[in-house]
Amino acid sequence: MEATIAITEAEHKKTKPDPETLQFGKTFTDHMFTMEYTEEKGWIYPEIKPYAPVEIDPAAMVFHYSQSVFEGLKAYKGPEGDIILFRPEENFKRMNRSNRRLRIPPINEELVLDYLRQLLELEKDWVPSAEGTSLYIRPFVIATEPSLQVAPARSYKFLIILSPVGSYYPEGIHPVSIMVEDHFTRAARGGTGTAKTGGNYSSGYTAQSKASSEGHAQVLWLDGVEKKYIEEVGSMNVFFKIDGEIVTPELNDSILEGITRKSVIELLEYWNIPVVEKRITMQEILKAYDEGRLEEAFGSGTAAVISPIGELHWKEHTLIVNGRDTGETTKSLYQTLTSIQTGKEDDPFNWTTKIKL
């Protein structure tokens, strides 16, 4: 599908940043994609234009009631110079699931993927090629109707912005320390935890700040009801290897359905490594640890792909996982996923979408 779209090129192009010093999500490319939604006309005015501030009414509902959703995915420069996307159709499917939860009108997933393709073609020189680098893609929807009524908006803006990002592991993949959060809650049963909506993120700042001040990289969230069951790590899904079997919390309405999580499960099944989705208590992890059966632990997400966990801190307990080394399965998953994502390895799953230039 080739979707028609208005394109205005930037007159002055920015200087590309040094890939060595790139920080996550701080530098943006020359162009962005925008479209509008009105109740009468649906999604209209698809447009690629110079990256610039947007003009928004101060009464726009996104400012007051946070009616918004977002997605995050990465584009890599392939070995033959093409641009490789990893399961992008999954991101737009999930965006529509988030839209439904937040009462935002659905987008046309195929059309939006084509808009993204056209934006990436224009911004092809922004996709970095150094080891570990990529172009981070942020599609998002915000409620723009100027109204203070507590109700779904009647107008929205959809945007895609692009940010070149450096390697998540400039000094090589290394395990991190995680604090299990006993007081604060990320998401509750019946809440918005499965949706990628802003409110799930700023609500975690206090817990993250507590963890950081105690020297931990991330928070491990427990369920909002009993504070017993493991949900997520920071903004990643979480996996444990116990007695050779990989376990991960089963999806419920407070866990984000990660695309990397899904790929990890599919890859493990392909490798014939047993993988189980179930409710897991922190107590079970502690027991496995005490009995010497906790072999590995890692998080999965778009930013880090795979993030090994070296320490878990829960109440008075400290669990040192695999002697603070990256485990074998963790390492294989990271290697294989990043090699498929960057086109260095065959893609038996047909996960990647290649944009030929």
Which residues form the interface with a second copy (CB under 8 A)? Answer: 23-26, 28, 32, 51, 53-59, 62-68, 70, 72, 101-103, 136, 138, 140, 142-143, 146-152, 159, 161, 163, 183-185, 187-192, 197-206, 208-209, 224-227, 234-235
CB of 122 to a second copy, least distance (A): 16
The DSSP output letter for 131 is T
CB of 82 to a second copy, least distance (A): 25
Q: For residues 289 and 194, give the distance between their C-alpha atoms in angstroms, rounded to a whole number.
A: 29
Structural element, H or E, at residue 275: strand 275-278
Residue 224 carries which DSSP code? T
Work out how close the CB of 333 gets to a second copy at its nearest, in angstroms, rounded to a whole number. Answer: 23
Query: Which pair of structure tokens corresponds to residue 112?
Result: 């939006």
| DSSP tag of 38 | E
Please give the backbone phi and psi of residue 205, each rounded to the nearest 5 degrees, phi first: -60, -40
Nearer to a second copy, 10 or 320 (CB): 10
- The Cα–Cα gap between 266 and 33 comes to 32
CA 30 to chain centre: 23
CA distance 146 to 63: 10
Nearer to a second copy (CB atom), residue 183 or residue 356 = 183
Nearer to a second copy, 60 or 268 (CB): 60
Cα separation, 347 vs 349, in Å, equals: 5
- In the complex, the smallest distance separating the C-beta of residue 174 from a second copy, rounded to whole angstroms, is 20
66 versus 353: smaller Cβ distance to a second copy: 66
Task: Say how far apart CA 136 and CA 145 lie, in whole Å.
Answer: 28
Report the Cα 19 to chain-centroid distance in Å: 21
Q: Which is nearer to a second copy, 162 or 247 (CB)?
A: 162
- Bridging pattern class, strands 245-249 and 237-242: antiparallel
Alpha-carbon gap, residue 196 to 235, rounded angstroms: 10
Which of 254/326 has CB closer to a second copy?
Answer: 254
CA–CA gap between residue 230 and residue 281 (Å, rounded):
6
Least Å distance, CB 205 to a second copy, is 4
Dihedral angle computed from the Cα positions of residues 165, 201, 95 and 29, in that order, rounded to the nearest 10 degrees? -30
Rounded to 10 degrees, the C-alpha dihedral 203/209/210/213 comes to 180
Nearest 5 degrees, angle CA 37-CA 72-CA 21? 125
Q: Which is nearer to a second copy, 205 or 271 (CB)?
A: 205
Rounded least distance, CB 32 to a second copy, Å: 6
Task: Indicate the residue among 103 and 278 with the shorter CB distance to a second copy.
Answer: 103
> How far is C-alpha 201 from the chain's CA centre?
12
Q: How far is the CB of 74 from a second copy (least distance, A)?
A: 12
**Shortest CB 207 distance to a second copy, Å:** 8
Smallest separation, CB 257 to a second copy (Å):
18
Beta carbon nearer to a second copy, 242 or 256: 256
